[in-house]
Amino acid sequence: MNAADGTSARATTPVVEIRGVDKWYSTFQVLKGCSLSVARGEVVVVCGPSGSGKSTLIKCVNALEPVNTGDVLIEGTSITDGKASLSKLRARVGMVFQHFELFPHMSVLENLCIGQEKVLKRKSEEARDKAMGLLARVGMTAHAGKYPLQLSGGQQQRIAIARALAMDPIAMLFDEPTSALDPEMITEVLDVMVSLAQEGMTMMVVTHEMGFARKVADRVVFMDRGEIVEDTPKARFFEDPQSDRAKAFLSKILSH
Amino acid sequence: MKGWHWDGFFEYLTNGYLIEGALVTLGLTVFSIFFGLILGFVIAVMRMSKYKLLSAPAYFYTWIMRGTPLLVQLIIIYTGLPQLGIKFTVVESTLIGLTLNEAAYLSEIVRAGIAAVSRGQVNAARAIGMTPFQVMRYVVAPQAFRIIIPPLGNSVNGVLKTTSIASIISMEELLRRTQVLIQERFLVLELFVVAAIYYLIMTTAWEFIQRRIERRFGRAYDPQAGLVEQR
């Protein structure tokens, strides 16, 4: 951390800050005192065994899942105090889901425009230009007029990323973006994510793709049974994991 | 055919008075489905609310409306309420009764449609910053509508025929006018067959319309649709 100290002191508030979050599903505690922050331009990969609470944690960031105790701040604004409009805060953070969740009744182009027009109140030509630019970027220009269900999973997920980017987000959240994809489609989605990271997008990514973490992550967060067990720079996580649980996890997913 | 009068049958088949009655039946159907759907939507949303103050009255409403016969409801509105000083004409009573009754059934259909739209879709809409109203307007309602077209079509078909019950409070729709015409020449069978044919024409026409609506809203869900259009 010594090299980064200078920049972190200069950096103002973190883009995303999770402070001591607890969450229960009735009597079962899914998150136990989780704290985590993502600075501007940082890429944080969250991993851990299934059921460890990582998807729940990332959904707490934009309040798709409410927290029981603790707080989440987006650029210093709390999502729980009720003063700031929740929908306005959400519009500033892009999110990509495991099952894409494109709107099936709208064309690809409409999927990219609806948020721009209805939430950001952009004019339709402006929204359309922005959408076409982003479709070109993810290599989907030819499919602008199609419906999501006429496309492959990889294509849908690239469009879902473009839909989130159309809102000009200050950060992007990815909730297992490649877990529902056939192996041959994972690369095309990861390529888009890698280029985003390299352009300096602030990202929080829940994924099992350790290759992606190795390539672009600044920090790796390891979760198990609702707790953040490790939160370390990438190199240290892969070379010298501190906890037994992280060691066991790594040996399982890296063994083949 | 002994006892069957073809001349009377054909005469009544093109009788303007009866055709008018059929148009009234059609009007009653369109009105009660249209306003029943709006009211049904409100009741469905209330029913799905986590607040008891909203969901309980909605449940109570559907309980009463689905638990009592339409005929009883119509008689209460037309014959019973004047006792309390509340008076409605025959047409008003019919429109109110049919709409209130239909709204209860439609609310259950709408509720099933809304519940069938996945949580993930709602989350995706919220994640791009839509307000709860926008989530409903742009994401949930259009998808729910596609799902409810078949049961909704069933309701339209049902209401087309159920309107005949209003003849009992002397609403001049198709069945009532059929009964009036019987007094002319007592061609009972011929006239009821004519009425049945009119009902059949209307329900059949609706079947065609429904199929078109289904195709229109199903386009996005047919993996081949886009390809066919490009050919």
Question: Closest to A97 (Cβ–Cβ): which among B124, B146, B221?
Answer: B124
Q: Which of A41-45, A102-106, A234-238, B123-127 has the lowest mean pLDDT?
A: A234-238
Q: Output the CA–CA distances (angstroms, integers) from residue A43 to A34, A52, A198, A221, in the order listed.
A: 18, 20, 9, 11
pLDDT at A250: 87
Identify the closest residue of chain B to A63 by CA–CA distance.
B127
Q: For the residues of A177-196, what is the DSSP string, one character each?
A: TTTTS-HHHHHHHHHHHHHH
**Residue A5 pLDDT > 80, yes or no?**
no
CB contact under 8 A, B129 and A92: yes
Give yes or no for B219 touching A (CB within 8 A).
yes
Chosen for mutation from A92, A110, A150 (greatest number of chain B CBs closer than 10 Å) is A150
CB distance A104–B143 less than 8 Å? Answer: yes
Residues of chain B found within 8 Å of residue A88, distances taken between Cβ atoms:
129
Confidence (pTM): 0.87
pLDDT at B184: 85
Do A147 and B220 lie within an 8 Å CB cutoff? Answer: yes
- Using an 8 Å CB-CB cutoff, list chain B residues near A93: 127
- ipTM, two decimals, is 0.90
By C-alpha distance, the chain A residue nearest B142 is: A105
Q: What percent of the residues of chain A are helix, what percent strand, and what percent coil, each to the nearest 5?
A: 40, 25, 35
Residue A44 CB burial class (10 angstroms; 0-12, 13-18, ≥19): buried
Per residue in B96-138, pLDDT (tens digit) is 999 999 999 999 999 999 999 999 999 999 999 999 999 999 9
Residue identified by tokens 């159309």 is A166
Helix (H) or strand (E) holding A46: strand A43-47
Interchain contact, B138 vs A101, CB within 8 Å: no
Q: Which residues of A touch B221 (CB under 8 A)?
A: 104, 147, 149
CB contact under 8 A, B146 and A90: no
Q: Do A97 and B120 touch (CB under 8 A)?
A: yes
List, for residues B4-48, the tens digit of each pLDDT value: 889 889 999 998 899 999 999 999 999 999 999 999 999 999 999
In the three-class reduction of DSSP (H, G, I as helix; E, B as strand; rest coil), residue A118 is classed as helix
Structure tokens at B37: 């759907």
| B225 pLDDT above the threshold of 90 | no
Say if the Cβ atoms of B220 and A92 lie within 8 Å: no
Q: Name the residue of chain B whose CA is nearest to A113's CA.
A: B128
What is residue B3's predicted lDDT score, i.e. its pLDDT?
Answer: 85
Query: What percent of chain B is modeled with pLDDT above 70?
Result: 96
Show the CA angle centred on residue A54, arms to residues A49 and A57, nearest 5°.
160
Number of residues assigned to chain B: 231
C-alpha to C-alpha distance for A182 and A171, rounded to whole angstroms: 27
Establish, for the pair of chains A and B, how many residue pairs have beta carbons separated by less than 8 Å. 83
